[in-house]
Amino acid sequence: MGEIGSLAHPDTSPAYFIDFLEFLDNQPNIKSFRVEAAKRMNLAAGLKVLDLGCGIGGATFAIADVTGPTGLVAGVDISSALVEVAKRRAGDRPRT
């Protein structure tokens, strides 16, 4: 198995990753990509979805908007710093 040594763990410099992901979240082409991806995933109200590598929640929240209050969307990430930002960004969204 190959060694992955040149990749930085997001928690070593979380501000960089947070700024980058916030930048991406605000790009029109990323927004349209997420809309198209949601269509292709056949998302619907009531579904349960696991977002692996959720980062700061950009795609996670969009999926939650489609699955609605009867669905469940959970985000998981290797970075505790990014998960904390996602929790803050979730605001008043219901959590279980």
The range of the structural domain enclosing residue 86 comes to: 13-90
* Any domain includes 41: yes
CB hemisphere CA count around 74 (13 angstroms): 4
Report CA-CA distances (Å) from 48 to 20, 28, 74.
28, 27, 8
Task: Please list, in sequence order, all residues whose beta carbon lies within 8 angstroms of the beta carbon of residue 35, skipping any fewer than 6 positions away.
Answer: 62
- State residue 1's pLDDT score: 45
For the chain, the domain total comes to 1
If you count them, how many residues does the chain have? 96
Convert the pLDDT of each residue in 21-45 to its tens digit. Answer: 999 999 999 989 988 888 889 999 9
* Any domain includes 40: yes
Which pTM value belongs to this model? 0.80
- State residue 9's pLDDT score: 75
Distance between CA 60 and CA 86 in Å, rounded? 9
Task: Provide the CATH number for the domain around residue 57.
Answer: 3.40.50.150
Convert the pLDDT of each residue in 55-81 to its tens digit. Answer: 999 999 989 988 999 999 999 999 999
* Any domain includes 4: no
